[in-house]
Copies of this chain bind each other. A is one copy, B any other.
Amino acid sequence: MSSSRFSGVLAPVITPFRKDLSPDGRRLVAHCKWLLNQGVSLAVFGTNSEANSLSLEEKITLLDQLLDAGVDPAFLMPGTGSCALSDAVTLTAHAVKLGCAGTLMLPPFFYKGVADAGLYAYYSEIIERVGSPALRIYLYHIPPFSQVPLSLNLIDKLVHAYPTTIAGLKDSSGDWDDTQAFLSGGWSDFRVFCGSESFLLQNMRNGGAGCISATANVNPAAIKALYNNWKDSDAEAAQQQLDKIRNIFQGFAMIPALKAATAHYSSDPDWFTVRPPIVELDRDSLAQLQQQLSAAEFEMPGLKMGLG
């Protein structure tokens, strides 16, 4: 069973839009292939993918386009959680049908203060309705956005009811205490991913499985290198170098900053486009971002080629 679970570094892949705001499957394929070449897997339809700004149909079409273009579903962990149980079931079933190795699953996030019993019912209904032994779910704990945290008690009940299906969790709380609690859950082969590479070394030293991080869209190789070499003597220095780049991006709105960097280093201005309610960086912010990245000698090698 162990070999069927994810580990390593995944990028919540930014979603390219055309000028008319329609999703651009061709650019998504190119970016995904570049990311795979850099050694990271693909958590498409994550928070930084503007996934909740996409319709179910748009997500299904993009996923089909990735598979049609030859992206190996063994490297795909699409986000399939939704406020609507019916949407979550449809997208999860589609991901399983395509052979995706896992799905990252938000709780329903409109209602606040919901009971664990309601969240348990949501996840168990999805699992029962999809009804596939191939389904692997990575729970998505992201209180800053969802405002619906996943409790240890909830996870414990899910793991015991569905030990093969519930494969792990992404912790985007930004709070190491939460990560530590998930790592200490005592669940067999439960894969804990931190939501930022800032916690990568700490996570690996405490039994974590890797990270699923926004900045893996732009700095994938270096993050993957620390994942590969976290036991090395220079790991602390590598972590500090990752933090330096991460901190630059964190100084701006993350999604437009990731897209701006991708647009800049690929010389492809179409990458700037975001969907409402996200807005592009203003001119001053854009200039500051470019200046800071340049000062840090930041690069996205090979990106241009991938977008040809």
Contacts and interface: CB of A to CB of B under 8 A. Distances in A.
B277 A114 contact: yes
A119 B21 contact: no
A168 interface: no
Nearest to A120: B276
Interface residues of A, number: 39
A145 B112 contact: yes
Contact of A110 (B52, B85, B86, B276): B52
A18 interface: no
Interface in A13-70: 21, 47, 52-58
Oligomeric state, in copies? 2
A84 interface: yes
Nearest to A109: B110
Contact of A111 (B58, B90, B122, B277): B277
Contacts of A115: 277, 279
B52 A83 contact: yes
A255 to B, nearest CB: 8
Nearest to A125: B276
Given A86-B58, A125-B21, A277 B108 contact: yes
A261 to B, nearest CB: 19
Interface in A88-140: 90, 107-112, 114-115, 117-119, 121-122, 125
A304 interface: no
Nearest to A146: B110
A144 B112 contact: yes
A54 B86 contact: yes
Interface string A272-293: 0001111100000000000000
Nearest 3 Cβ contacts at the A-B interface? A118-B277, A122-B276, A121-B276
7 contacts: A21-B85, A53-B110, A54-B84, A54-B86, A55-B87, A112-B145, A114-B277
Interface of A: 21, 47, 52-58, 83-87, 90, 107-112, 114-115, 117-119, 121-122, 125, 144-148, 275-279
